Amino acid sequence: MIYPIEDLKEISKRLKEKAISEGFVMAGIASIPGSSRIKLRTNALERWLSNNHHADMKWMEAEKRKSIDSLLEGAKSVLSVGFNYISSNKSDNFFKVGKFSQGEDYHKIIYKKLKNIGKWINLTIPDCKWKICVDTSPLLEKAWAEESGIGWIGKNSNLINKKNGSWSTLGFMILTKNLIPDQPHQSLCGKCDICIESCPTQAIIEPFVIKSDLCIAYHTIESREKTIPKNIKKNLNGWVAGCDICQDVCPWNKKVLFNNDSETQPKEWIMNLNVDSLNWDDKTWIEHLKGTTLKRIKPWMWRRNIKANLGKK
């Protein structure tokens, strides 16, 4: 069935409203293949990869990442959504964990919400096929979020939204229906370089470009090396899982509304990490990590990261 333009406008509007009703704080639609900026972002990814700025994150090299229509045959549109994970519940603990990972596993939260939207699509647009993508899918995520108008890619490479800052994780639905796209978002970073200037390891080597092997988050979450390099180690300042420095200093994050739903609340053990955590056996770590994104960091890596903060080998 071919929908008249009035119906497509209504369906597009209702789809975004459904996303907000599911608990997302922002939702936008982009057409595939997108504007010229998608090609520019794809070229930027290729330069980043060719310079080996992704270090050992070899999955970033997936060819599918450069072609969204390879993820779903007949792809015409993409719905981009953002989930606000920032909680008002903060810890004064020396050992720090990235805010995105302190609550429940956001992959599961976002997937469940998108699945509910998928059920709605099945009823409302029955001839539309769809595919859910969270950040484990080979998708140029932030570029498509920007194309969908829900924010812009900041100089720290995070997606920023005027109302919600950068404290959001992203989700996507690729659709086989030509919907009405939103206007791509323009960058509002201007001349501000606070994130670049505040990174203690100078990992943001130029606006929008992160050199992973200089990034604290990379070394505490992704790196499987037995020891943390000296230049990173001396700048950890308590970070044992991730790093929020370039987001904490961003002016767009100063007035963000909190999400105090139970699923975003920091786990008690995260709030109370201390030197004694070095004595936890693997079974204890695995039990604590269950249901979080932090299980990506293996028990031996937690010990490595804690020891590095304490100046131990």
How far from 247 is each of 71, 164, 209, 251, CA to CA, in Å? Answer: 31, 12, 15, 9
56: closest CA among 215, 246, 238?
Answer: 215
- Spatial neighbors of 138 by CB under 8 A, at least 6 apart, are 59, 62, 63, 64, 65, 71
Residue 135 is among the residues annotated as catalytic for this protein? yes
Distance (Å, rounded) from C-alpha 136 to C-alpha 146? 19
Q: Is 122 helix (H, G, I), strand (E, B) or coil?
A: helix
Which of 56, 69, 135, 261 is labelled catalytic? 135
The answer to whether the beta carbons of residues 152 and 159 sit under 8 Å apart is yes
The answer to whether the beta carbons of residues 201 and 153 sit under 8 Å apart is no
Q: In sequence order, what are the beta bridge partners of 209?
A: 206
Where b means 16+ CB within 10 Å and e means fewer, 161-193 reads beebbbbbbbbbbbbbbebbbbebbeeebeebe
How far from 223 is each of 8, 148, 201, CA to CA, in Å? Answer: 46, 32, 16
- Which residues are catalytically annotated? 135
